[in-house]
Structure 1
Amino acid sequence: MHPVDWFIIALYLGWIIWTGVQHTRGSKEIEGYFLGHRSNPWWAVGLSVMATQLSAITMVGTTGQGYMDGLRFVQFYFGLPLAMVILSVTAVPFFHRAKVYTAYEYLERRFDVKTRTLTSALFLLSRGLSCGTIISAPAVILSIIMGWNLTLTVLLIGIPTAIYTMLGGVQAVTWTDVKQMYIIIFGLMAVAIALVLGLPGDVSVGDALRVAGATGRMQAFDFRFTLSETYTFWSGLIGGLFLMLSYFGCDQSQVQRYLTARSEDEASSSLYMSAYWKIPLQVLVLLIGVLVFVFYLFNEPPMLFNPVHEARVKQSALAGRYADAEQRFSAAFATRRVAARALASADDAPARASAETTFLDSDAALRAVRKDATALVQEVTGDRTYRDVNYVFPTFVTTHLPIGLIGIVLAAIMAAAMSSIAAELNALATTTVIDFYRRLLKPDAPDAHYLTVSRIATGAWGVFTCIVALFATNLGSLIEVVNRFGSFFYGSILGVFMLAMLTRRASGTGAFVGLIGGMTLVGSVAVLRPDISFLWHNVIGAFGVVVVGLLVSLVVPVTPPASDSIA
């Protein structure tokens, strides 16, 4: 990589760190450190929430998803606007009036300490796993650029971020996110322009997208109702609704954001920002992935996007078979490029239909060669789950973007990742200290003591998430991995809050047993019915907790707590 790109990355990261340090004032008290004295404006909270979502996971995993599957992943977010409206009139007033540090404090007021503790523990496990996946995204990029060991790159990203989070607080995270949001959008738009300019002079954007549409990549809607397909209109609207309700309404990493807002109205406005802008931004990211696919129709891509695994195969006993596959791949690409040009220039329906058939046949032939090459990697490495979807976008950035723009895009990815990681670690530390340490071990210590413990907890979670990151890159599309982790827990956690907020008949024992029952049900479905998409786990878990919780509450009725509502 050119020294100019390194200078841009260093300059930007230095600027971000300086910004974070500037906003650590006022973090000497526990409320300032965790909630920023509840003083942030709605637009800053909204941008912070969106910056966390538009992390390196989005820029690496979602673009790779768009490259492989097209726009259909956007259906995953169809339930988000409705979720934002529901949460604005339910969760936001509940938590703001409660003056809590974590969402799970409310569960003790409504139920009991065991329900609060179990729910907090499930959050810590799910968010710890997801945070590890967030670290793995930029680690993939550095491992490609520098040829470094993946373990080293994970530590280089995770450890400094953990140290930065230990020193800062939620204010530093929020205002850093605000600046990063602008950089992320600029980087995405710059890549989109570079992709368009990289098309052949005689192929327009419309023609290129028509070729992509022939493969189904421009299809954004699938109205089939099936539990086995992850990305359909109905799975996104129903399963996605339950996932988003849990993520934004019950996940401390998000609840903590709008608890920093100055008022209920401003907290609600921050959620509406995501409701309005999340889907258009997601379409932009996926469209960039589609444009990368189109770019590689006319510019030969690598047969494998992960050079480390490619090198291992070339140094193995299967090197001869791999060399033969490379020759077949180059020939198949040349055939597909001709077919793509013919389809792009076809000007009437009969010619377009004939050209489309030829193109799809050549595309299938190219994919068959890639499949053979992937099988060789799996045979050499012993990893039967190997996919290189997460390496597509980084490969394009580092091999085809001009000097300077590479640095800008990588700086945006790195900074977005570090900000997202910092936010997650801050939420993990908050829950660890408030829901476990202060509640169960040392309830009467001064703020200075809790801040010290918070920093220790942040460091411990940083180590844990680095370990998770080492395994996450081989689990498939990173954007799918992080949502698969979350969906295993989110529905059941949402079910507990549904019991708490929607009915007075649920008892503490009912909620506790219901939570265990919901998790057991989701685990059973995941093992016994792997054909059911993970998005439906959110629905299954939520209703499982509610049904089991209400049934147990009939046997063990409610014992009125000191207060079962929030004034």
Structure 2
Amino acid sequence: MQLIDWVILCVTLLFIVAYGAIKTRGSKNVEEFILGGNNTPWWTVGLSVMATQASAITFLSTPGQAYHDGMGFVQFYFGLPLAMVVICITFIPIYHRLKVFTAYEYLEQRFDVKTRTLASLLFLIQRGLGTGLTIYAPAIIMSSLLGWNLNLMNFMIGLLVIIYTVSGGTRAVNVTHKQQMFVIMTGMFITFFIILSYLPEELSFNNLLHIAGANDKMNIVDFSFDPEKRYTIWSGIAGGFFLALSYFGTDQSQVQRYLSGKSVKESQMGLIMNGLLKVPMQFFILLIGVMVFIFFQFHEAPLHFNPNNVELVQNSSYKDEYKNLEGKLKSVAEEKKEISMLYAGQLHQDYDNKELHNRLIALNSQEKDLRDDAKQLISKINNNAETNDKDYVFLYFILNFLPKGLIGLLLAVIFSAAMSSSASGLNALASTTAIDLYKRNVTSVKSDKHFVDATKLFTLIWGVIAILFACLGTLFENLIQLVNIIGSIFYGTVLGIFLVAFYIKYVKGQAIFWGAVISQCAIFYIYYIDVVSFLWLNIIGAVLTIVLSSVIQMFMNNSTPPPLTENEI
């Protein structure tokens, strides 16, 4: 990195933190600190909702996901717009009418305190893990590529978030989300057009997509009914719908964003904005990953993108074997570049040469085999090493091929995304702890200032916990998938509780509590035996909770003796 990159990175981050802290300092009461004084316009609500979900993992992992597996991951979001409509019709009016600070307050009014506590604890567990992961994800990758100390990176990201979240609460989170989304989307658009400028001038954009399609990167929709396939249109619409319904409808980190809206209409418009823009945004980010793949059809790519693993091999007895694989990859890359140029020239003349097409596919298959061989070498050296390098692809491209200045901007994008999602997580964790656990169990009368101070303290505590979890974390198969797996394990049960609360009025507190407990245990077991894609866990958890609580309630009604008649008395 050059001096200009450091200047852009530091100025961008410090401005966001300072602006958020100064603009929103001095919240006088709980409503202002947690709900932002219910004064947030719809477009800020929409941007804040998008920024909360768009963590650094989105911008690190998603392009790498597309680089390896193509555009199919976008199906994961197909159920989201429909979920936004349901939440706008059902959830938002109820939350606003009851004037709740958290989604889980409603559950005590509808059921009882133990159901409210159960839902709160499930949220705190999964959001605590998720918030730590949003700090850890960019830290581990950037520390690997830049040579920075991992724990220092975790601490730095966590500290920046804690500063303005503690000082300004929800208003600070909402205000900074606007700047963060501007930085994020500006950086991604600039990167996209720079990648295009690096590709052969004679190629049209349609030609580029044709090359991507020849390598199975443009298979956007999969109509397969195989339940073990992770991303299909059915799992996207059904599983994605339930996951989005639970995440946006019951997760306090999202609910708190639109509870701060000026009115029901402003909150609804903010969510509809998210529903309209989220799928195109994810499609665009995946497309950047595909463009990076095409870029490496004409430029040499490393055998393995994770520098930690490369260093591990080079310091081992397998270094000669690894070097031999690198030599073979170089030969494949040179031929692939030549074939790609010939194929591109033919495409430019509107002629799809099948022989070149098939040769290009064969070369990419050889490249994949060489990369798999490299992963096997890494596993021989360290059986616990994470050989999946998807999360390193995009950042490798940023650091090695983008011009001076833009590297600093893209790193600011990654940090901003990490801060936006982490701030929302901490804000929601603190609010839930303060309102659903602390305030609910405080017997003596306390002032509003006391609960504001308590919420700030809980923000600090959860910030420290998130940093500690980030320092203890380990890299998983793919970070964008890990975040969604964690959510899917817990969200289905919580969503089932809320759906029963809204639509099945005869189910009472005792039945829903035990139905939810049994359902959550069942989800843990189903995930452990790994029989279905994680997206289906959302549907299974919600349906199990609804069915079990309904059955338990029927048994309880049947076992309850009828009231005594006058003659029996």
TM-score, reference length from structure 1 = 0.95
User: Could you tell me which residue of structure 1 aligns to residue 214 of structure 2?
Assistant: 214
Give the CA deviation at 1:459. Answer: 2.4
Give the CA deviation at 1:436. Answer: 0.7
User: Could you tell me which residue of structure 2 aligns to residue 354 of structure 1?
Assistant: 355
Question: Which amino acid letter does the alignment assign opposite residue 53 of structure 1?
Answer: Q
Q: Distance in 2 between matches of 1:443 and 1:391?
A: 52
* 1:69-218 correspondence runs (5 A): 69-218=69-218
Does 2:528 align with 1:543?
A: no
Relative to structure 1, is the Cα distance of residues 396 and 386 closer, same or farther in structure 2, using a 3 angstrom cutoff? Answer: same
User: Could you tell me which residue of structure 2 aligns to residue 438 of structure 1?
Assistant: 439
Give the CA deviation at 1:385. Answer: 4.3
Do the aligned residues in 2 keep the contact of 1:313 with 1:319 (CA within 8 Å)? yes
Give the CA deviation at 1:191. Answer: 0.4
* 1:516-527 correspondence runs (5 A): 516-527=517-528
Do the aligned residues in 2 keep the contact of 1:472 with 1:481 (CA within 8 Å)? no
Deviating 4+ runs (over 4 angstroms): 347-351, 470-473
Give the CA deviation at 1:546. Answer: 0.4
Over the matched positions of the two proteins, sequence identity in percent amounts to: 42
Q: Distance in 2 between matches of 1:4 and 1:153?
A: 20
User: Could you tell me which residue of structure 2 aligns to residue 494 of structure 1?
Assistant: 495
Give the CA deviation at 1:141. Answer: 4.3
Give the CA deviation at 1:442. Answer: 5.0
- Structure 2 stretches of 5 or more lacking a match? 559-569
User: Could you tell me which residue of structure 2 aligns to residue 51 of structure 1?
Assistant: 51
Q: Distance in 1 between matches of 2:536 and 2:365?
A: 31
Do the aligned residues in 2 keep the contact of 1:507 with 1:556 (CA within 8 Å)? no
Do the aligned residues in 2 keep the contact of 1:390 with 1:476 (CA within 8 Å)? no
User: Could you tell me which residue of structure 2 aligns to residue 565 of structure 1?
Assistant: none
Do the aligned residues in 1 keep the contact of 2:52 with 2:253 (CA within 8 Å)? no
Question: Which amino acid letter does the alignment assign opposite residue 63 of structure 1?
Answer: P
Relative to structure 1, is the Cα distance of residues 218 and 8 closer, same or farther in structure 2, using a 3 angstrom cutoff? Answer: same
RMSD over equivalenced CA pairs, Å: 1.8
Question: Which amino acid letter does the alignment assign opposite residue 270 of structure 1?
Answer: G
Give the CA deviation at 1:168. Answer: 2.4
Give the CA deviation at 1:259. Answer: 0.5
User: Could you tell me which residue of structure 2 aligns to residue 478 of structure 1?
Assistant: 479
User: Could you tell me which residue of structure 1 aligns to residue 429 of structure 2?
Assistant: 428
Question: Which amino acid letter does the alignment assign opposite residue 150 of structure 2?
Answer: L
User: Could you tell me which residue of structure 1 aligns to residue 567 of structure 2?
Assistant: none
User: Could you tell me which residue of structure 1 aligns to residue 464 of structure 2?
Assistant: 463
Q: Distance in 1 between matches of 2:11 and 2:435?
A: 36
Structure 1 residue matching 2:203: 3-state secondary structure? coil
Once the two structures are superposed, what CA deviation does each residue of 1:464-493 show, in whole Å capped at 9, x if it has no partner? 323433465621221111000000000110
Give the CA deviation at 1:70. Answer: 1.3
User: Could you tell me which residue of structure 1 aligns to residue 364 of structure 2?
Assistant: 363
Relative to structure 1, is the Cα distance of residues 6 and 272 closer, same or farther in structure 2, using a 3 angstrom cutoff? Answer: same
Give the CA deviation at 1:241. Answer: 0.5
Do the aligned residues in 1 keep the contact of 2:78 with 2:236 (CA within 8 Å)? yes
Deviates more, 1:549-558 or 1:3-12: 549-558
Question: Which amino acid letter does the alignment assign opposite residue 474 of structure 1?
Answer: L
Question: Which amino acid letter does the alignment assign opposite residue 479 of structure 1?
Answer: I
Question: Which amino acid letter does the alignment assign opposite residue 123 of structure 1?
Answer: F
Q: Distance in 2 between matches of 1:350 and 1:452?
A: 69
User: Could you tell me which residue of structure 2 aligns to residue 563 of structure 1?
Assistant: none
Give the CA deviation at 1:170. Answer: 0.5
Give the CA deviation at 1:351. Answer: 5.7
Question: Which amino acid letter does the alignment assign opposite residue 480 of structure 1?
Answer: Q
Relative to structure 1, is the Cα distance of residues 249 and 510 closer, same or farther in structure 2, using a 3 angstrom cutoff? Answer: same
User: Could you tell me which residue of structure 2 aligns to residue 272 of structure 1?
Assistant: 272
Structure 2 residue matching 1:556: 3-state secondary structure? helix
Do the aligned residues in 2 keep the contact of 1:472 with 1:478 (CA within 8 Å)? no
Do the aligned residues in 2 keep the contact of 1:72 with 1:221 (CA within 8 Å)? yes
Structure 1 residue matching 2:353: 3-state secondary structure? helix
Does 2:324 align with 1:324?
A: yes
User: Could you tell me which residue of structure 2 aligns to residue 382 of structure 1?
Assistant: 383
Q: Distance in 2 between matches of 1:483 and 1:231?
A: 12
Structure 2 residue matching 1:445: 3-state secondary structure? coil
User: Could you tell me which residue of structure 2 aligns to residue 67 of structure 1?
Assistant: 67
Relative to structure 1, is the Cα distance of residues 351 and 497 closer, same or farther in structure 2, using a 3 angstrom cutoff? Answer: closer
Structure 1 residue matching 2:441: 3-state secondary structure? helix
Number of residue-to-residue matches in the alignment:
557
